[in-house]
Amino acid sequence: MSNRNLSLDALKSHLFETLEGVKNLSDDNASPNEKVSIDQAKQIVDLSGKIIDIYKLQVDAMNTFNRMDNVASVGDLATGLGIVGSDAGYLIENKKPIYNEEVNC
């Protein structure tokens, strides 16, 4: 599995797809592939919560390290902690927009 599509935006997309799948349970015209059971949705939400907890921990670590003297730049911290990819870390340092088609964060 590639880490290229593992981002908070991808997670949000999966969660909204799950919501649509649950809504499709009551749609007689929806195919079985478009439906997500309540049990599956609960498992997805549970795992998503754990992923969000990891991101929170990473951001807390970044904030802690950022308050220390001569540790690293914010972009280097975000990249080193796996919060963003190396391209996005460069953009953070140069105060450029992070979200574009060329950068996966």
Is residue 98 in a domain? no
Q: Look up the pTM and report it.
A: 0.60
**Structural domain count of the chain:** 1
Q: Categorize the per-residue pLDDT at 88 as very low, low, confident or very high, splitting at 50, 70 and 90.
A: low
C-alpha distances in angstroms, 45 versus 17, 18, 38, 53, 100?
12, 9, 10, 12, 27
Predicted local distance difference test score (pLDDT) of residue 78: 72
Domain that holds residue 75: 3-93
**β-strand partners of 100:** 103
Is residue 100 in a domain? no
Predicted local distance difference test score (pLDDT) of residue 44: 95
Q: Which of 1, 57, 45 is nearest to 19 (CA)?
A: 45
Does residue 45 register a pLDDT over 90?
yes
Neighbours of 43 (CB within 10 A): 13
Is residue 82 in a domain? yes
Is residue 49 in a domain? yes
Is residue 84 in a domain? yes
